[in-house]
Structure formats: C-alpha cells, structure tokens
Structure 1
Amino acid sequence: MGASGRDMSICLFGLYGLLHVMFGVPATLSSRTMAMHVPHCVLRCKDAHMLEMENEWSMDFAFPLLSLLKATGSEVAAYNRAKEICRSNELLGACLDSCNSSMERTILRMGLTPWRDICSNLQELREQFPCWRSNVQNLSTTCRVQSLELRDSFEFLTRNDSVSATQKICINLDKLSACSVKQYGLYCGAESEKFIERLFSISREAINSMMKMKYAILPTACSIGPLRRDVYSSELFTLNGASRAYSLFLLLLILYSLSLNLTLYHVPKGGRKIHR
C-alpha cells in the first residue's frame, strides 16, 4: 500500500473511533471495514475496550461518572465505576503491549494518559463527588453551548477534511475547557477547579505529543499552552494532501481518546440532532 493509501486507511480508522463513541456507529461495521488496514492486534484491543465502555456513552456527550451521579445520585456507584474504568484501561494497556509497535498503538496508549492520572488519584476524585452530586444539574448543562459547538465541529470535520476544520475543533475544545474549569470552580471551589484543569491540561499535553509525531510546528489553535479564553487567530498552516490525511487521523483519534477522559456535557433532548 502506498503512503497516501495508508494515510487514508489510518484516517478511516480514526474516523471510526470518533463516530462510534460520539455518534453511535456500530462496532461491527467498523471492524469489517478497518480490519484490512489497521494492525489486527490493535483493532482487537480497541474493539474489546469499546465494547466494555459502550454503555457509558450516548449522544448526550456525558462524562461517565457525572452521568452516573445524575442518574443514580450514588457516590458509591460512581466510585466503583471509576475503579472499573481504571481496570478496563489497564487491560487495554496490557493488550496493546502484546501488539507489535505501530503508530496506532502509540496513539491509543497516549490517549490513556489522562485516566492514568485519575486512577492514580482516585481518593481525590472521590472527594469531589459530594459537591458534584449536589450540583450535577448545573455542572451537566451550564456549558451546553460550548458542547454543541464542539459537536458541530466534529460533524463538520466528517464532511470537510481541512486544516480549518481541525483548528475549529481545537478552538471549540479550548472553549469547553475554559467553561468547564470556570463552572467547576464556581460550584465546587478551588480543589475541584484544579482537578478539572489538571485533567484538561494533561489531555492537551497528550494532544501535543501526538501531533508532534508528525509536525515540527503545530497549528496555532492546537498548540499547547494555558487555557485560552481570548479570541483565537484565524492563522492557518499549509500541508500537502498526505499530511492532511495524517493530521485528520491524529485529531480524530485524539478526540476519541479524549471522549473517554474529558468531562463533556449533557445536551438536552431538545438540542440539535446529529445526522448520520
């Protein structure tokens, strides 16, 4: 397979990860489509992990633990689920260790970085639950506008493979980050704010590491740095066709990984629908 053909197959693999987690595309369809392109061992590890996680996700863009707190009001159930997610991630890591070295394996392992921090600080996470439970309605809806904008940018990227589309996702992700940190601090104080900010910061570092696998200079909106609350530059950078396909894959798979890590927000049933 030529370089451009491999870049496109990698792009499709990343697109599957995004569509399955965010929009509910069936795992069996993607497995049939991707099996001939993606290392089988990596695909097997990913599919097993996603099957275990699939009940935690819906069109609502709800973080598993916050969603569970909202549904049950049980801090014990949320804590137990956090431990289960940590165990599932350990199994995924062990599974990936059994695979031959590949770019896909490396990126999936990078995507586990934020949860490794959470799993190393489960008691700190547990201490946040009482306030999160008391304020779960506000925490799960206040940033709905930013969540909708991020979801719209996902949809746009599936229809428009362009640098401007990837930058739009980075911009909207940062807007959601800024809103999240502010709201958790407002409702639950400095410790909760630090916890959420650290989670986003670690995730952004993972993004930085992934994208540096390809680019010496990152696009402005996707570069690492403090949470940005200003108006973003529209500056673009130029890539050739093969590199843009690689870029799309990186960002899609990054966002798939982040969807298992970041505290994304519930979108009400009356919100805009994503068409598949």
Structure 2
Amino acid sequence: MPTSGGSAISPLQLCRLGHLIVVVLAAFGGTAQTIHVPHCVLRCKDAHMLEMENEWSMDFAFPLLSLLKATGSEVAAYNRAKEICRSNDLLGACLDSCNSSVERTILRMGLMPWRDICSSLQELREQFPCWRSNVQNLSTICHVPSLELRDSFEFLTRNDSVSAMQKICINLDRLSACSIKQYGVFCGAGSEKFIERLFSISREAINSMLKMKYAVLPSACSLGPLRRDIYSSELFSLNQSSHTIALLLFIFILIYPL
C-alpha cells in the first residue's frame, strides 16, 4: 500500500505496528473487539495513517532526526516534515467535522508533540546541518534507554502494579536525560532546549494517561513545572475506561517515529 511519498510499508513495519497495538491494548485490559470508535473519527484516523504509515515505529525517537536519517538530505527531510505537518492539519480539520467524543480528544492529544515541531519548523531547520552531521551518534547513543522504555510498557501488560508504572516513569526520565544531554553536547543549547520541551510534553501526556486509570501514582512519576497550559481541560475529564487509556497510549507512542 503506497504512501504519499510513493513507497510501501514493509512487512516488518506491519509486524511491529501490530505487535505494538497488542502490547498497548493488553497493558490496559482492553481488546480490539471491545474498542468502539465513532465512524467519523475512524475515517479521519485511517486517512491520516495511510499518509503516515512509513513513519510508524516501536522506538521512541525525535522524528526530525529520523527523517534526516531516512532521507540523508536536509532538504528532503524538511519537505517531508512539511508534508507531515500538512497531514496533521488535515487530520485536525477532519476531526472538527466530527461530534465531540473521547476518541476525538485522544487523537488531538496525539498531535501535540508534532504541533510543537511544526510551529518551530523554520527555526529548527537551522539545526539540521548539525543533526545530520551527528545523526549516527544522536540516533544510537540513547538507543538502550529507548528500548527500556518500550519494554517497560510491555512489562505493564504482564504486571499491572505500582512497580510497573514506576518502571515507565523511571525509564522515561532516563531517556529524557540521555537525549537532552546528547543534543546539547553535539548541537548546543538551541537543540537541547527544544528536546527538553518535547520530553516535557511527553512526560505530561504519559502521566495524564496513567492518572486516568490509577488514582495514585508512584513517586517516580511526580511532575515538575511542565507546560500544563497545552492540554485542554477536556482531556482531564475523560472517563477511566480501559479502551480510552489504550487508544490514548497507542496514539501517543505512534507519534514518535524512527
């Protein structure tokens, strides 16, 4: 099935995506059969995924670096990023035509990290030469904590406990600290601050997801001063159904392609 760029999703990517869906649904006690998404929201989501399918991954990575690594070209990466931003805008417009629902809010939240990227894309383009020159280091140095974070979500599917939640928060902190430090070391304060902002958004999102199911979070999940203003109050009024948690986590994870 071709994407807007003309390439097809590989069998390996399909397997990874399918595995990720199973992991996320199992983590919160839901199954694909119990999830009922409004048709309008499904239509918007499916159209968006068709354009974005070559971007899906099970790793947590900064998407602009991923585009630079995949294309080997600053111009191509920038143009692909603009296409993704356009696709996100189309998704937002499509969702505007749907009735208000939990699932619509979930998809909107899934776009939050990219919204930050798209609003800063021209400014971030100045960082492309450094990121491209150091793409191998930046994409591999923090690979271990990235895998540990993914594994911690899988651990939650087998052990629904405080210790499982704590693993997620601890591993997110480790990945955040590693990534922020390395972007600063290789590409300076501008890159470091932007990566820190993205992880701040990510941390707030994961905590919000966990709070929808668990009344009390472990101390490792406590939040510092983060950008709480970016989240709609509608998000915090979502019910605690397992399918809501699963969908939100699914959309959030998929927003970080490699």
TM bucket (normalised to shorter chain) is: 0.7 to 0.9
Kindly state the Cα deviation for residue 195 of structure 1 after the two structures are TM-superposed: 0.9
Kindly state the Cα deviation for residue 54 of structure 1 after the two structures are TM-superposed: 1.2
- Counterpart for residue 224 of structure 2: 225
Q: How far apart are the structure 2 equivalents of 1:163 and 1:39? A: 32
C-alpha RMSD over aligned residues: 3.5
Q: Is the 8 A contact 2:51 2:87 kept in 1?
A: yes
- Counterpart for residue 7 of structure 1: none
SS of residue paired to 1:99: coil
Q: Is the 8 A contact 1:170 1:222 kept in 2?
A: yes
Structure 2 vs 1, CA of residues 250 and 129 (structure 1 numbering), >3 Å: closer, same or farther? same
Correspondences of 1:66-81 after superposition (within 5 Å):
66-81=65-80
- Counterpart for residue 23 of structure 1: 16
Q: Is the 8 A contact 2:59 2:147 kept in 1?
A: no
- Counterpart for residue 50 of structure 2: 51
Q: Is the 8 A contact 2:138 2:182 kept in 1?
A: yes
Correspondences of 1:69-108 after superposition (within 5 Å):
69-108=68-107
Q: How far apart are the structure 2 equivalents of 1:219 and 1:22? A: 33
Kindly state the Cα deviation for residue 78 of structure 1 after the two structures are TM-superposed: 0.7
- Counterpart for residue 125 of structure 1: 124
Report sequence identity in percent: 78
Q: How far apart are the structure 2 equivalents of 1:63 and 1:184? A: 11
Task: Give the TM-score taking structure 1 as reference length.
Answer: 0.69
Kindly state the Cα deviation for residue 63 of structure 1 after the two structures are TM-superposed: 4.2
Kindly state the Cα deviation for residue 22 of structure 1 after the two structures are TM-superposed: 9.1
- The amino acid of 2:133's aligned partner reads S
Q: Is the 8 A contact 1:73 1:133 kept in 2?
A: yes
Give the aligned length: 227
1:169 aligns with 2:168: yes
For structure 1, list consecutive stretches of 5 or more residues without a partner in the other structure.
1-19, 228-241, 267-276
Q: How far apart are the structure 2 equivalents of 1:116 and 1:214? A: 26
SS of residue paired to 2:18: coil
SS of residue paired to 1:24: helix
For structure 2, list consecutive stretches of 5 or more residues without a partner in the other structure.
1-12, 26-30, 227-238
The one of 227, 232, 253 equivalent to 2:248 is 253
Structure 2 vs 1, CA of residues 159 and 134 (structure 1 numbering), >3 Å: closer, same or farther? same
Q: How far apart are the structure 1 equivalents of 2:220 and 2:156? A: 15
Structure 2 vs 1, CA of residues 158 and 210 (structure 1 numbering), >3 Å: closer, same or farther? closer
Kindly state the Cα deviation for residue 76 of structure 1 after the two structures are TM-superposed: 0.5
Q: Is the 8 A contact 1:114 1:199 kept in 2?
A: yes
Q: How far apart are the structure 1 equivalents of 2:143 and 2:203? A: 21
- Counterpart for residue 5 of structure 1: none
- The amino acid of 2:134's aligned partner reads N
- Deviations 1:175-198 (CA, angstroms, capped at 9, x unpaired): 111111011001101111011111
Q: How far apart are the structure 1 equivalents of 2:15 and 2:119? A: 27
- Counterpart for residue 183 of structure 1: 182
